[in-house]
Chains A and B, each alone.
Chain A
Amino acid sequence: MLKKAEISLQFNWIYIIVVGSIILISGFAVVSNIKKTSINELILDLKLYLDTIINDIQLDKESEHTVMLPDIEIEFECNSFSIKDSEYSSISLLDNILFSPNIIKRTLLGYSLHWNIPFTTEFFSYITSPNVKYAFLDSEHSRTLMDILPNNTNKELAAQYKDYNEEKNYKVRYINFGNLPQDFSFGDFRYIDDGDVSILKINIIENEDSFPDSIGKITYYKKEDNSLRNIGEINFLDKATLMASIYSEIPEIYNCNLEKSFKKLNIMATIKMDKLTEYSNNPHLSSCPYEQAIDNLNNMILLTSNVKTDQNYVTQVYDLSKSIEKENKLLQRLSCPQIY
């Protein structure tokens, strides 16, 4: 028989083990919760700062931005961006016109331009990574286009299609002004998935002399084993939209942003139209010829009230913008208040 004191001593040990285990488990739970919370906080902070960084890139035109990212991937769509595998909701890009690959990791490069069509209508933001290779197949236009891309872009003039089999590149985009070769032999992209190898075939349709401010069509291809799959076409009408097509992952994203830009063009044309109506009602400005400019702006408003992205539509926008530009120059020559 155990004595009463021995039973009490054993009970104390059991009691200490139970309470100790509870404290230990609670400690582990608290530490794991703190870790989870701090990761979530880091992602939340990143979201807030990324929103500000993207806004800075947008408004700071023609400046090159380089932002080092922690071990995260940012997913871009037309109207939002989000941090991959995070539980937080995405951030809206409804008020931004942003062209980028679908995934940005390691480092973010940003650049922006005014979209002048012909008056300043919108800020176009261009986002990419130094780990996305842009290979321009050697031609005169390729060299021109390469020069207009920001200096910190990972760009190269290539004599022919070749494998960029370096671990640092996670995407490769070839830009070609000529015909595509019948037979592709890309070889083995050890570090890049097929879906991340793409080719843009650029076809200039009008105003080749004023390239890159020309009208043209671009066909997007993606690598599928040793062949190419046509994933769609887009139309560009100036330098800003041409650059946008180079940065856009797929035609749908480019067209979605172009539609948003045309809607903004409608607003801008309405504001310019209201200004011109005021000018034309001003007796002091009766000698200034605003009729044609009013007509052109009216046509622009009508055209952009039903936005499309096909070649015919894009050409009409381009032609009207050139007419408005011509009218603005005439008003400037006559020392009249200008449209823009």
Chain B
Amino acid sequence: MQTIFVLFIVFFILSIVGIFLFAQQKAANNIKVDEHLTLAQIKKSKMIALLPEVQYSSNNVVLDDHYDKLALASFKNIIQENPQYYKSILGSIKLTILEYDFQSGWSEEVYYNNELLNYSNKKNFQVPIVLTNPENYEKKIGVIYVEIYS
């Protein structure tokens, strides 16, 4: 009877340790998933900000955070013509560009949408940009709005 009682206590302590380890592992996994998502967010934001397809350049001098409006219009078609290529680069994201006009206010246009239907995580970020029309060098304030799904 005494031995059984000792064993019962030993297994009870082992079970408590097991449950504690499991809970700790689960928490660590959640932190890792969050870390992974943050890294993916940083990666995507840098990649989108520096896409040569849409960056505005003058005499091949690329201006940071300046987007070319004509290139953007063409880029929308290019994405549709090369879905696999851009899926591998951009992944599961929704890319929207908002433009501010002093008369009509904000307008938005979705350039890429590969939204996951059954996503478990979603993060978003915004980057302020300058939208330049290379035909008349007119500049407007804009925002890139990206939603990342996983």
Contact = CB atoms under 8 A, between A and B. Distances in A.
B39 interface: yes
B135 A337 contact: yes
B53 interface: yes
B57 interface: yes
A275 B46 CA distance: 25
B3 A268 contact: no
Contact of A15 (B3, B39, B74): B3
Nearest to B10: A23
B60 A118 contact: yes
What DSSP secondary structure best describes chain A's contact surface? helix
B59 A275 contact: no
Contacts of A48: 35-36, 39
A55 interface: yes
Contacts of A55: 43, 46-47
Nearest to A93: B88
A230 interface: no
Nearest to A41: B32
A274 B47 contact: no
Given A120-B62, A338-B58, A275 B68 contact: yes
A122 interface: yes
Nearest to A282: B135
A245 interface: no
A23 B10 CA distance: 10
Contact of A275 (B32, B71, B137): B71
B50 A59 contact: yes
Nearest to A273: B74
A304 to B, nearest CB: 13
A35 B12 CA distance: 24
Given A271-B53, A275-B74, A340 B88 contact: no
Given A15-B3, A120-B60, A332-B59, A275 B52 contact: no
Interface in A265-298: 267-268, 270-271, 274-275, 278-279, 282, 284-285
Contacts of B70: 274-275, 278
Nearest to A119: B60
Contacts of B85: 95, 263, 267
A22 B59 CA distance: 75
Interface of A: 12, 15-16, 19, 23, 45, 48-49, 51-52, 55-56, 59, 92, 94-95, 114, 116, 118-123, 263, 267-268, 270-271, 274-275, 278-279, 282, 284-285, 328, 332, 337-338, 340
Interface of B: 3, 7, 10, 32, 35-36, 39, 42-43, 46-47, 50, 52-53, 55, 57-60, 62, 68, 70-71, 73-75, 77-78, 82, 85, 88-89, 134-137
7 contacts: A48-B39, A114-B62, A120-B60, A122-B52, A267-B85, A270-B78, A338-B59
Closest 8 CB pairs of A and B: A274-B74, A95-B89, A275-B70, A271-B74, A94-B88, A120-B52, A337-B134, A55-B43
